[in-house]
Amino acid sequence: MTTFIDYLLGGFSSGAVIALFALALVLVWRSTRIVNFAQVGQAMFTTFIALAVQQSTGSWFLALLAGLVGGGILGLIVYALVLRPVQRLDTSGSIIATFGVLISLQALASMIWGGEPQSFPPPVANNGLEIAGRIWPISWYDVLVYAVTAVLVVALTLLFTRTSLGLSMRASAFNPEVAKLSGIRVNRMLAFGWALAGVVGAVAGVLVAPTASLSPNSFDILLIFAFTAAVVGGLDSLIGAVAFGIGTGLVLALVTGYGEAGDAPIIVLILLAITLVVRPGGVFGRGKSRAV
Amino acid sequence: MLEVKQLSVSFGAVQALDSVSLVVPRGEVTAVIGANGAGKSTLMRTLAGLVKPQSGSAELDGVQVTGRAPEDIVRSGLALIPEGRSTIPELTVEENLHLGGLWRPSAERKATSAEIYDMFPVLAERRRMRSDTLSGGERQQLAIGRALMCDPTCLLLDEPSLGLAPLIVTQILQLVNQLAREKNLAVLLVEQNAVTALRVATTGIIMNLGTVVRVGTAEEIAADDELRDAYLGS
């Protein structure tokens, strides 16, 4: 029984980070109806920037801040320089363009920082906590990850449901023409969606880096898990992305714990396939089918 | 007053609008009628900034609107209610309504929305529901309400009768006429349903193949059988 609980606790931590990446994918989908496969590449790149700041200043907080700012700016750059020109042509082109951005960012990162995995020091201890005479697979660092995830989810939900900016963003995503005719500066809203996704992705990157290592390809596998979580959650749903992000983390932990670690991604992809067959709109998705 | 001067639009080889000039005075409804493909919707979309004209201009109370972005045109007081279901189904009634005035200070926005809820009590009752739970007529009320949220001086309505029952169409058009008079709005109404449109309009304009072929009082045009046979096919 304690082993089972250990697995679940471990799953929660990786699930929280998957949830953040899934949130970033949902934010981009909501604003421009594109699945941004470059999201983890952007996060990797901004995490390298954060690491550079950490190494030169010694401050984790400044590193996080640099990651947030860098993530937002990089999101804007990718949208303005690549996606906006391509999206005028067609949607499938945009999705392929995001792969191009991913590969370019990875190549650029290897050129600047090299391909060797680097370690990112955590701001608080990442050792299992000792409670009731036993060491549990949860650390103060995991607690920080949960807290940041929870704060982001609440803040984003409030932004979308309670503010004029959030309403403008949703309207621009659902019906750009009606939004324009209502006086909303749609292009700005779409760009803001990409910047916001870049910030959330950067947070995910900075949070996950200390638990693994940082290299140009180290987040690739997370893309698959985050994509699964976002799609199963319905792509439009913030809460769906978070619920299934954490769910994916739990599945991964259980499969890895009781079976082979190598099987975990395949099990997740099978779950994705089953969901798409049974509920093509995603579990939290409603109505209309979509064209992905 | 909206003044359109020699407006021309073409899509590739197709001349959709050919030197269209017309005037829409405040306080009354001006109806543009004509068969499918006469260029009515293109005229509306060009005035709202969604289509770029080749030449010509449109001025709202002396201020040029052509050549500006749609979101700037609406902020200067010219609001288009586009053809079809222009409410956003995923948003609630209240969200759809407020959408029209998000760029205004929130106190002004709230005052205008209170006024609109008085005008359309059914929208007030359903404010928290998704807008796709409304009937066709209620959705058209919502679309009109959203356009009024930007405190316009000129209202463009593109085929508001589309897909509505005749009784509802009459109600909506009478409401449009009342709005024009009470709020001193310049209203340009595009309709295929000529008879109903001319009943609420002061002036009638007939368009055919991208040009204005006749301007007259609504009574004159409604009474002219020859005109009807030639251009409206009914």
Amino acid at A180: K
Return the residue in B75, B81, B88 with the most chain A beta carbons within 10 A, the one to mutate for interface testing: B88
Render pLDDT for B37-78 as a digit per residue (tens, 0 to 9): 889 999 999 999 999 999 999 999 999 999 999 999 999 999
CA distance between the termini of chain B: 31
Q: Cα distance from B226 to chain A (closest Cα, Å)?
A: 38
- Per-residue confidence band for B189, with pLDDT thresholds at 50, 70 and 90: very high
Asked if pLDDT for residue B23 goes beyond 50, the answer is: yes
Tokens (6 digits) for A215: 């290299």
Q: Cα distance from A211 to chain B (closest Cα, Å)?
A: 39
Average pLDDT over chain B, rounded to whole? 92
Render pLDDT for A74-107 as a digit per residue (tens, 0 to 9): 999 999 998 888 877 776 788 889 999 999 999 9
Amino acid at A287: G
ipTM exceeds 0.90, yes or no: yes
**pLDDT score for A215:** 92
Using a cut of 0.90, tell me whether the model's pTM lies above it: no
Asked if pLDDT for residue A112 goes beyond 90, the answer is: yes
- Per-residue confidence band for A261, with pLDDT thresholds at 50, 70 and 90: confident
Query: Are B75 and A168 inside 8 Å of each other by CB?
Result: no
Share of chain A above pLDDT 70, in %: 96
Closest residue in chain A to residue B149, using alpha carbons only: A182
Render pLDDT for A159-209 as a digit per residue (tens, 0 to 9): 999 999 999 999 998 899 999 999 999 999 999 999 999 999 999 999 999
**pLDDT score for A275:** 83
Query: Are B70 and A175 inside 8 Å of each other by CB?
Result: no
Between these two residues, A212 and B187, which has the higher pLDDT value? B187
Residue A223: closest CA among A195, A204, A251: A204
Residue A272: closest CA among A219, A225, A223: A225
Q: Are A241 and A29 in contact (CB under 8 A)?
A: no
**pLDDT score for B233:** 59
Average pLDDT over chain A, rounded to whole? 88
What is the DSSP pairing of strand B14-24 with strand B2-11? antiparallel
Amino acid at A175: N
Give mean pLDDT, residues B74-102: 93
| Residue B49 CB partners (closer than 8 Å, separation 6+) | A180, B65, B66, B68, B69, B70, B72, B73
Question: How many angstroms separate the CA atoms of B234 and B232, rounded?
Answer: 6
Helix and strand element counts for chain B (H, E)? 10, 10
Question: How many angstroms separate the CA atoms of B16 and A214, rounded?
Answer: 58
Q: Cα distance from A163 to chain B (closest Cα, Å)?
A: 10
Which DSSP string corresponds to B39-59? SHHHHHHHHTTSS--SEEEEE
Residue B190: closest CA among B33, B14, B18: B33
Render pLDDT for B116-161 as a digit per residue (tens, 0 to 9): 999 999 999 999 999 999 999 999 999 999 999 999 999 999 999 8
Between these two residues, B205 and B226, which has the higher pLDDT value? B205
User: Which range, A241-255, B174-188, B219-233, has the best average confidence (pLDDT)?
Assistant: B174-188
